[in-house]
Homo-oligomer: A and B are copies of this chain.
Amino acid sequence: MSVTYAQGFRAAGVQAGISAVESKRDLAMVVNDGPLQAAAGVFTSNRFCAAPVQWSRGVLDDGKAHAIVLNSGGANACTGPEGYEQSASTAEAAATALGCRREDVAVCSTGLIGELLPLDRIIAGVGIANGALDAGERAGLDAAEAIMTTDTTPKTFTAQGSGYRLGGMVKGSGMIAPQLATMLCVLTTDAVVSAGALQAALVSGAEMSFNRIDVDGCMSTNDTVILLASGASGVEPDPEEFGRLVAQGCASLARQIIGDAEGSSHDVRIAVSGAGSEEAALACARAVASSNLLKCAIYGNDPNWGRVVSSLGTVPVAVAAFEADEVCVDINGVRVCDGGRPGRDRSEVDMTPREVHVDIDLHAGDQRAEVWTDDLTVDYVHINADYES
């Protein structure tokens, strides 16, 4: 159902001839018919942020958006003032079709960095998409398909609150590829929520989800997560429940990114407990999740705890206090490292499941954090080496 699950939204996903992949849907529109048009967003912190990111930041500044135009087949990043003009023109085409201001149309792009978009096709595509806008299930799925690049499957989310609904879609084969697997996410709700409350729920939800997955440590120039509220249900939600559902949506979509990460054969949860603070636990989890060596070992179904602790050992004491000889590591439930020394034999670990759980206890407090990552495979290298730039 994707973004059209919530009332008050129409969507479309069409072929505009932007993507190099033949007969692939490559342009999506999501329109908020209101009555409310509240909006919130979080964006990449990359200093080379793309033109559509610069444009959409401005759009969301006043907490209002009427529509979003999203394209695959080109990131419109590192394209200078001309690239910014392309984003503005895209917004203008949609605004003309919808009868709104261009300053109320956000734009998201994903694809190759460093090339301008085929603007004619984008503009024509906006026209086609506008004609195809629909509030039904199929339209939501079409939109989710149109934003895919190296994704192998569309990723969507729906949730029912007390009298209101949430929907969502995301693309990304990991947060990995600035060039071809940028993460774009649109969440929609028909609850009556102010822009400020939307932003608070989104920032909190994104922090615990999209900011805690790491496929290859590479930050995109185009990452964008937008949450739109139509208020069409007429229901003002309980803030706590609403925040929980937004967080669930972010978590579900982030988890789907990991499940579809480029070339991956294992989804890996790194959980660090026994830390002095959540920040310390998170720093340790991130250090382990970014180890190419560990990720290669997991690809080889090797429960190689030496590569867990050697990554852990790179975290400065000032960031996370712990004693090396008190650290325990469980892999898929088997304590392979006990107090910094060998524990049970690694042959006892069953590495065949798709999910691999690495549980680290620092024995230095009672705080914890989790990060999801993937294994590093031959297919990942092929996908990212053979991609035709």
Name the residue of chain B whose CB is nearest to the CB of A80. B341
**Residue A309 lies at the interface, judged by CB distance under 8 Å to chain B:** yes
Are B310 and A389 in contact, CB atoms less than 8 angstroms apart? no
A59 to B313, CA, bound (A): 23
Give complex CA distance A66, B19 in Å: 67
Q: Are B80 and A325 in contact (CB under 8 A)?
A: yes
* CB nearest neighbor in B for A300: B385
User: Smallest CB–CB gap between A317 and chain B, Å?
Assistant: 7
Q: Which residues of chain A from 107 to 137 have any CB-CB distance to chain B below 8 Å in the complex?
A: 112-115
Contacts of A47 on B, CB cut-off 8 Å? 312-315, 317, 324
Residues of B within 8 A of A48 (CB): 309-310, 312-313, 324, 340
In the complex the two chains form, what is the Cα distance from A388 to B307 in whole Å?
13
Closest CB in chain B relative to A351 CB, distance in Å: 11
Q: Check if A377 is an interface residue, CB within 8 A of chain B.
A: yes
Known: A80-B340, A114-B342, A341-B80. A178 touches B385 (CB 8 A): no
Known interface pairs A306-B179, A310-B46, A310-B221; A346-B315 also in contact (CB < 8 Å): no
Taking a contact as CB atoms under 8 Å apart, the answer to whether A179 and B78 are in contact is: no
- Check A387–B302 contact: CB distance below 8 A: yes
Q: Are B309 and A389 in contact (CB under 8 A)?
A: no
The reply on A7 being an interface residue by CB < 8 A is no
Q: Indicate with 1 or 0, residue by residue over A190-219, a CB within 8 angstroms of chain B CB atoms.
A: 000000000000000000000000001111
Bound complex: CA A297 to CA B385 (Å): 4
Contacts of A376 in B (CB 8 A): 292, 381
**A385 and B114: CB pair below 8 A?**
no
Residue A337 lies at the interface, judged by CB distance under 8 Å to chain B:
yes
State whether A384 and B340 are in contact (beta carbons under 8 Å apart), knowing that A48-B310, A217-B290 are contacts in the complex.
no
Tell me the A23-78 residues at the B interface (CB within 8 Å). Answer: 45-49, 75, 77-78
Query: Which residues between 368 and 385 of chain A lie within 8 Å of chain B, taking CB atoms?
Result: 376-378, 380-382, 384-385
What residues of chain B lie closer than 8 Å to A378, measured between beta carbons?
A: 378, 381-382
User: Is A79 among interface residues, defined by CB-CB distance under 8 A?
Assistant: yes
Count of A residues near B, CB < 8 Å?
66
**Closest chain B residue to A314, Cβ basis:** B219
The residues of B that contact A216 with a CB separation of less than 8 Å are: 292-293
Q: Please tell me if the beta carbons of B178 and A293 are within 8 angstroms of each other in the complex.
A: yes
In the complex, A230 has a CB within 8 A of chain B: no
Contacts of A304 in B (CB 8 A): 179, 389
Q: How far is the CB of A358 from chain B (nearest CB, A)?
A: 15
Q: Is A11 part of the contact surface with B, judged by Cβ < 8 Å?
A: no
Select which of B75, B80, B293, B389 is within 8 A of A384 by beta carbon: B293
Min CB distance A327 to B, Å, is 8
- A sample of 8 more A-B contacts (CB under 8 A), given A46-B313, A219-B314, A296-B380, is A48-B313, A75-B306, A78-B324, A80-B325, A178-B307, A300-B386, A300-B387, A303-B389
Question: Can you list 12 residue pairs at the A/B interface with Cβ under 8 Å?
Answer: A46-B313, A47-B314, A78-B341, A112-B306, A179-B306, A216-B293, A217-B292, A218-B291, A221-B306, A292-B384, A293-B384, A300-B385
A residues near B (Cβ < 8 Å) are 45-49, 75, 77-80, 112-115, 176-179, 216-221, 290-293, 296-297, 299-300, 302-307, 309-315, 317, 324-325, 337, 339-342, 346, 376-378, 380-382, 384-389
Rank and list the top 10 A-B pairs by shortest CB-CB distance, nearest first: A113-B306, A300-B385, A296-B384, A178-B310, A48-B313, A46-B313, A47-B313, A216-B292, A80-B341, A299-B385
